Amino acid sequence: MAAHRPKHNLESFTLYMAPYYRKSPFWNSTVDAGCTSWDVCNHSLIPNQYPTDELTEYWHLVNEVSVWDVNCERQVEITGPDAAEFTQLLTSRDLSKLAVGQCKYVPIVAPDGGIVNDPILLRVAENRFWLSLSNSDVLLYAKGVQAFSGLDVQLREPDVSPMQIQGPKSKDVMTALFGADHEVLSLKYYYCVETTVGDIPVVVSRTGWTGEVGYEIYLRDGTRGDDLWEVVFAAGKPFNIMPGVPNDQRRIEAGILTYGCDMTIVHNPLQVTGMERLADCLDNEVKHIGKEALQRVRDAGVKEKLVGINVEGDAFSTWMTDFWPALSGGETVGRVTSYTYSPRLEQNMAYAWLPINLTEEGTKIDVVSPEGTRSATVTTLPFFDANKQVPLGANA
- Kindly state the percentage of the chain with pLDDT values over 70: 96
* Residue 131 near residue 112, CB atoms below 8 Å: no
Rounded to 5, what percent of the chain is helix, strand, coil? Answer: 25, 30, 45
Identify the three-state secondary structure at position 19: coil
pLDDT tens for each residue of 350-382: 999 999 999 999 999 999 999 999 999 999 999
> What pLDDT is recorded for position 243?
98
Those residues with Cβ within 8 angstroms of residue 81's Cβ, 6 or more apart along the chain or in another chain: 127, 152, 153
Give me the pLDDT at residue 4, please: 44
Residue 307: what residue type? V
Beta bridge partners of 202: 195, 219
For the segment(s) 1-256, the CATH number from 3.40.640.10, 3.30.1360.120, 3.40.47.10, 1.10.540.10 is: 3.30.1360.120
Q: State residue 353 phi and psi, 5-degree precision.
A: -90, 125
pLDDT of residue 8: 43
| Cβ neighbours of 275 (radius 10 Å) | 21
For residue 41, the SS3 value is strand
Distance between CA atoms of 276 and 274, rounded to whole angstroms? Answer: 6
Assess whether pLDDT exceeds 70 at residue 7. Answer: no
Residue 325: asked if its preceding bond is cis (omega within 30°), the reply is no
What is the average pLDDT across 100-105? 98
Which CATH code for domain 257-379?
2.40.30.110
The whole-number pLDDT of residue 20 equals 87
Alpha-carbon distance 339 to 308, whole Å?
Answer: 10
Q: Is the pLDDT of residue 13 over 70?
A: no
At residue 19, the pLDDT reads 86
Q: Can you tell me the mean pLDDT for 56-62?
A: 97
Per-residue pLDDT, averaged over 301-327, amounts to 95
Q: What is the mean pLDDT of residues 216-239?
A: 98
Query: Among 71, 389, 72, 4, which Cα is nearest to 212's?
Result: 389
Q: Report the chain's mean pLDDT, rounded to a whole number.
A: 94
Residue 327 host element (H or E)? strand 324-328
Other C-beta atoms closer than 10 Å to the C-beta of 276 total 15
Strand partners, 154: 79
Which H/E stretch holds residue 249? helix 248-253
174 vs 179: CA distance, rounded Å: 7
- What's the mean pLDDT in 150-166? 98
Q: Rounded mean pLDDT of 138-150?
A: 97
Secondary structure element (H or E) that encloses residue 131, with its range:
strand 128-133
% the chain with pLDDT above 90? 91
DSSP 8-state assignment for residue 387: T
State residue 11's pLDDT score: 53
Q: Mean pLDDT throughout 162-187?
A: 97
- Determine which of 20-24, 80-84, 171-175, 363-367 has the lowest per-residue pLDDT on average: 20-24
Report pTM.
Answer: 0.94
Gap between the Cα atoms of 185 and 166, Å rounded = 14
SS3 358: helix
User: Residue 394's pLDDT is what?
Assistant: 53
User: Is the pLDDT reported for residue 113 higher than 70?
Assistant: yes
Distances (CA, A) of 327 to 259, 354, 374, 383: 24, 9, 10, 22
Q: Would you state the pLDDT for residue 318?
A: 82
Q: What is the DSSP code (8-state) at residue 91?
A: B
Position 16 scores a pLDDT of 75
- The string of pLDDT tens digits covering residues 336-355 is 999 999 999 999 999 999 99
Q: How far apart are CA 264 and CA 258, in angstroms?
A: 9
**Domain boundaries of the chain, sorted by first residue:** 1-256, 257-379
| Sequence-ordered alpha helix ranges (H) in 179-314 | 225-236, 248-253, 291-300
The half-sphere exposure of 283 on its side-chain side, counting CA atoms within 13 A, is 4
User: Residue 1: is its pLDDT beyond 50?
Assistant: no
User: Which residue type does 247 have?
Assistant: N
